[in-house]
A = this chain, B = another copy of it.
Protein backbone atom coordinates (compact mmCIF):
# COMPACT_ATOMS: atom_id res chain seq x y z
CA UNK A 1 0.00 0.00 0.00
CA UNK A 2 1.19 3.54 -0.79
CA UNK A 3 0.22 6.53 1.39
CA UNK A 4 1.04 10.11 0.43
CA UNK A 5 2.24 12.49 3.12
CA UNK A 6 1.91 16.19 2.25
CA UNK A 7 2.46 19.48 4.07
CA UNK A 8 5.08 22.02 5.03
CA UNK A 9 6.26 24.11 7.96
CA UNK A 10 9.23 23.58 10.26
CA UNK A 11 6.90 23.28 13.25
CA UNK A 12 5.30 20.21 11.68
CA UNK A 13 8.40 18.20 10.94
CA UNK A 14 8.40 16.24 14.20
CA UNK A 15 4.87 15.04 13.65
CA UNK A 16 5.56 14.31 9.97
CA UNK A 17 8.53 12.16 10.93
CA UNK A 18 6.31 10.24 13.34
CA UNK A 19 3.70 9.75 10.60
CA UNK A 20 6.37 8.41 8.26
CA UNK A 21 7.73 6.06 10.88
CA UNK A 22 4.31 4.65 11.75
CA UNK A 23 3.39 4.17 8.10
CA UNK A 24 6.59 2.23 7.50
CA UNK A 25 6.03 0.09 10.59
CA UNK A 26 2.61 -0.76 9.21
CA UNK A 27 4.18 -1.82 5.92
CA UNK A 28 3.06 1.10 3.82
CA UNK A 29 5.30 2.84 1.30
CA UNK A 30 5.52 6.61 1.88
CA UNK A 31 5.01 8.92 -1.12
CA UNK A 32 5.93 12.60 -0.86
CA UNK A 33 6.88 15.54 -3.06
CA UNK A 34 10.49 14.57 -2.43
CA UNK A 35 11.88 17.93 -1.33
CA UNK A 36 12.57 19.51 2.08
CA UNK A 37 10.63 20.22 5.30
CA UNK A 38 7.64 17.95 5.96
CA UNK A 39 8.45 15.94 2.81
CA UNK A 40 11.93 15.18 4.12
CA UNK A 41 10.74 14.52 7.66
CA UNK A 42 8.13 11.98 6.57
CA UNK A 43 10.70 10.16 4.43
CA UNK A 44 13.27 10.22 7.23
CA UNK A 45 10.74 8.71 9.59
CA UNK A 46 9.90 5.98 7.13
CA UNK A 47 13.55 5.10 6.62
CA UNK A 48 14.17 5.03 10.38
CA UNK A 49 11.73 2.12 10.48
CA UNK A 50 13.17 0.38 7.45
CA UNK A 51 10.41 1.50 5.12
CA UNK A 52 10.36 2.45 1.45
CA UNK A 53 10.00 6.00 0.14
CA UNK A 54 9.05 7.55 -3.20
CA UNK A 55 9.64 11.21 -4.06
CA UNK A 56 7.63 12.82 -6.86
CA UNK A 57 9.68 15.82 -7.90
CA UNK A 58 8.49 18.95 -9.76
CA UNK A 59 11.59 19.84 -11.78
CA UNK A 60 13.56 18.33 -14.67
CA UNK A 61 16.24 16.83 -12.47
CA UNK A 62 16.67 15.32 -9.01
CA UNK A 63 17.76 18.73 -7.72
CA UNK A 64 16.61 19.29 -4.16
CA UNK A 65 15.64 15.69 -3.50
CA UNK A 66 16.04 14.79 0.14
CA UNK A 67 18.42 12.03 1.16
CA UNK A 68 15.72 9.70 2.49
CA UNK A 69 14.08 9.13 -0.90
CA UNK A 70 14.63 5.63 -2.28
CA UNK A 71 12.98 6.17 -5.65
CA UNK A 72 12.67 9.58 -7.26
CA UNK A 73 10.25 10.25 -10.07
CA UNK A 74 11.21 13.42 -11.90
CA UNK A 75 8.00 14.74 -13.42
CA UNK A 76 9.08 17.97 -15.14
CA UNK A 77 5.60 19.45 -14.76
CA UNK A 78 6.16 21.90 -11.91
CA UNK A 79 3.26 22.39 -9.51
CA UNK A 80 1.17 19.96 -11.56
CA UNK A 81 3.22 17.27 -9.87
CA UNK A 82 1.03 17.91 -6.83
CA UNK A 83 -1.65 15.98 -8.69
CA UNK A 84 0.76 13.04 -9.08
CA UNK A 85 1.76 13.10 -5.41
CA UNK A 86 -1.78 12.52 -4.18
CA UNK A 87 -2.87 10.31 -7.07
CA UNK A 88 -0.05 7.94 -6.15
CA UNK A 89 -1.38 7.32 -2.65
CA UNK A 90 -4.33 5.16 -1.71
CA UNK A 91 -4.81 7.65 1.11
CA UNK A 92 -3.33 11.07 1.92
CA UNK A 93 -2.17 12.50 5.25
CA UNK A 94 -1.72 16.28 5.48
CA UNK A 95 0.63 17.65 8.13
CA UNK A 96 0.34 21.42 8.21
CA UNK A 97 1.02 23.06 4.91
CA UNK A 98 0.18 26.13 2.91
CA UNK A 99 -1.50 26.72 -0.48
CA UNK A 100 0.33 23.91 -2.25
CA UNK A 101 -0.89 21.48 0.38
CA UNK A 102 -4.42 22.78 -0.03
CA UNK A 103 -4.20 22.13 -3.77
CA UNK A 104 -3.12 18.58 -2.97
CA UNK A 105 -5.96 18.02 -0.49
CA UNK A 106 -8.41 19.27 -3.09
CA UNK A 107 -6.96 17.13 -5.90
CA UNK A 108 -7.01 14.11 -3.60
CA UNK A 109 -10.74 14.57 -3.20
CA UNK A 110 -11.27 15.21 -6.92
CA UNK A 111 -9.72 11.76 -7.43
CA UNK A 112 -11.60 10.12 -4.56
CA UNK A 113 -8.59 9.56 -2.32
CA UNK A 114 -9.42 9.72 1.42
CA UNK A 115 -7.68 12.59 3.23
CA UNK A 116 -6.65 12.78 6.89
CA UNK A 117 -5.70 16.22 8.21
CA UNK A 118 -3.47 16.06 11.27
CA UNK A 119 -4.35 18.89 13.68
CA UNK A 120 -3.65 21.72 13.35
CA UNK A 121 -4.09 22.03 9.60
CA UNK A 122 -6.30 23.40 6.85
CA UNK A 123 -9.85 23.90 8.07
CA UNK A 124 -11.56 22.10 5.22
CA UNK A 125 -14.77 20.17 5.58
CA UNK A 126 -16.18 17.80 3.07
CA UNK A 127 -16.91 14.22 2.28
CA UNK A 128 -13.83 12.04 2.55
CA UNK A 129 -11.87 14.37 4.82
CA UNK A 130 -11.18 13.29 8.40
CA UNK A 131 -9.20 14.98 11.15
CA UNK A 132 -6.73 13.36 13.54
CA UNK A 133 -5.22 14.63 16.79
CA UNK A 134 -2.06 12.56 16.76
CA UNK A 135 0.25 10.94 14.19
CA UNK A 136 -0.93 7.52 15.39
CA UNK A 137 -4.56 8.44 14.82
CA UNK A 138 -3.77 9.89 11.40
CA UNK A 139 -2.02 6.70 10.32
CA UNK A 140 -4.80 4.55 11.76
CA UNK A 141 -7.43 6.48 9.79
CA UNK A 142 -5.38 6.41 6.60
CA UNK A 143 -4.78 2.67 6.75
CA UNK A 144 -8.28 1.69 7.89
CA UNK A 145 -9.79 1.18 4.41
CA UNK A 146 -6.93 -1.13 3.43
CA UNK A 147 -7.09 -2.99 6.72
CA UNK A 148 -10.78 -3.65 6.28
CA UNK A 149 -9.84 -5.33 3.00
CA UNK A 150 -7.16 -7.44 4.64
CA UNK A 151 -4.18 -5.38 3.41
CA UNK A 152 -1.39 -4.60 3.48
* Residues of A participating in the B interface, judged by any CB pair closer than 8 Å: 2, 29, 31, 52, 54, 56, 60-61, 71-80, 83-84, 87-88, 99-100, 102-103, 105-107, 109-111, 123-124, 126
Contact = CB atoms under 8 A, between A and B. Distances in A.
Nearest to A29: B71
B77 A54 contact: no
A79 B84 contact: no
Given A106-B99, A106-B100, A76 B76 contact: no
Given A83-B79, A87-B60, A110-B79, A73 B102 contact: no
A73 B76 contact: no
A144 to B, nearest CB: 20
Contacts of A75: 75, 77, 83-84, 87-88
B88 A83 contact: no
A79 B110 CA distance: 9
A57 to B, nearest CB: 9
Contacts of A87: 60-61, 74-76
